[in-house]
Amino acid sequence: MVFVKNVIKNNIMGYLTTFTIYNDDCDLVKKYPKEFAENIYDACCNPNIEYKSNVFHGVVIPQKTRHADDHTVYVHAGNTVVSMNPYSDETLNMLKNNPEFFKKLVDIMESQTKELKKLLLLTKNPKNGKSRT
């Protein structure tokens, strides 16, 4: 109940925070559960958090907290997860500072989208994979 009161008081309802947890050291979650919970809470509710850094002993990468209406796509590539949103300063900075990596992520998104569209067509007409539209 205290959390709900704080959420309403701090006006953070309707927001979502996405996390990546490295499995390598996830045993630290059991070893330090209170610290883990506090770090997760801070990543969700602290507007001054530095999103470029990991939290909780480097085990967790928080993405920027977003309102539920702020749609974005997260790409899991290699050993990281990156937000891809054409209206995000983070995405635009990645394009500017590392265009090769940015292109790789766009290529991954295109490949995944192509395969998902094939699946969508199959569900529209399972017999021959063609859409009925």
Contact between 51 and 63 (Cβ < 8 Å)? yes
In degrees, rounded to 5, the angle at the alpha carbon of residue 41 between the alpha carbons of residues 35 and 47 is 125
Domain-terminating residue out of 34, 53, 70: 70
**What is the DSSP secondary structure assignment for residue 82, as one 8-state letter?**
E
CA–CA separation, 109 and 106 (whole Å): 5
Identify whether residues 60 and 75 lie together within a single domain.
Answer: no
Q: Characterise 56 by phi-psi region: left (phi > 0), alpha (psi -120 to 50), beta (else).
A: left
Segments forming the whole domain that contains residue 111: 71-133
Q: How confident is the model over 38-78, as pLDDT tens digits? A: 999 988 887 666 665 678 888 998 888 888 899 999 999 88
Model confidence over 75-124: pLDDT tens digits?
A: 998 888 889 999 998 899 999 999 999 999 999 999 999 999 999 999 98
Residues 77 and 127 occupy one common structural domain: yes
Q: Same domain for 2 and 56?
A: yes
* More confident: 12 or 91: 91
* 85 and 65 fall within a common domain: no
DSSP 17-41: --EEE-GGGTHHHHHSHHHHHHHHH
In this structure, the answer to whether residues 87 and 52 fall within a common structural domain is no
Residues 104, 77: contact at Cβ < 8 Å?
A: yes
Co-location of 46 and 76 in the same domain? no
Number of folded domains in the chain? 2
User: Do 17 and 40 reside in the same domain of the chain?
Assistant: yes
- Rg over alpha carbons for the chain, rounded to the nearest Å, is 19
Q: Does 82 lie in the same domain as 133?
A: yes
